[in-house]
Amino acid sequence: MESVSDVVESLGLPHDFKFKTGTNGHSRRLKFMVTGGCGYFGFELGKVLHHLGADVTLLDIQLPPKIKEVLDDHLHFIRLCKSLTEEINVQGTRNVIKACRVNNIQRLIYTSSYNVVLEGKPICAGDESMPYADPNKMVDYYSRSKLAADKLILQANNTMLDDGRELKTCCLRPAGIYGPGERRHIQRIANYIDWGIIIMRIGDAVVDWTHVNNLIQIHLLAVRGLSKTTDYIAVS
């Protein structure tokens, strides 16, 4: 198992970075809930949080691979479709916000997508001041669902929890994620090369990618940025 200092150094975090709070000389671990914990990024984030000393719970609508192997002959897994995407990304986000409210969880960090500002045209030096894309110009229903969820998260910022405190939220908008163990994008690109349908040419077409460690780093810094006083965080 990696030490806290090794994890902090590998991610380029401040040297004093840790997830423990203390009062009257007593130390306690911060608690995190990561939705989508069976996905690539959610699982990698969960591992880092654990190595940093946090108490981590991973949630997902999918079963872990080993359980799926055992039950594979008995279960039918539904493929991703428009209605399921809407249910997970939009209604699921509403459910998470509600859960934060009734359980008095003060920090909620949403892993959004740069698709929420993307209309199929190049973006140069874009930042958080960019307006949302026109839903009618977005490339797919997944992007539209992420846009709707992004709006819900930001609208929930500074709203009241059941105990009278405020919920603090933020959205992080990465591009496609890559890194060790990533299977979706890397395998897809490898297949394109194998099938001979990758076109190599000189031009201005550039697509940004986000390394998993950079994305983990910004999530951890977002936790600090939202608040330094509470010890319950939901990461979606």
DSSP string, 48-74: HHHHTT-EEEEE-SSPPHHHHHHHTTT
Find the catalytic residue in 40, 110, 114, 142.
142
Q: What is the dihedral of CA 101, 112, 46, 40, to 10 degrees?
A: 140
The dihedral of CA 168, 12, 35, 104: what is its sign?
negative
Sorted by sequence, the CB contacts under 8 Å of residue 43 that are 6+ apart come out as 37, 58
The answer to whether 110 is a known catalytic residue is no
User: What share of residues in the chain are helix, strand, coil (percent, to 5)?
Assistant: 40, 15, 40
Helix (H, G, I), strand (E, B) or coil at 17: coil
Q: Give Rg (Cα) of the chain.
A: 19
Nearest to 222 by CA among 211, 236, 201: 236
Please give the backbone phi and psi of residue 32, each rounded to the nearest 5 degrees, phi first: -125, 145
Instruction: Catalogue the active-site residues.
Output: 142
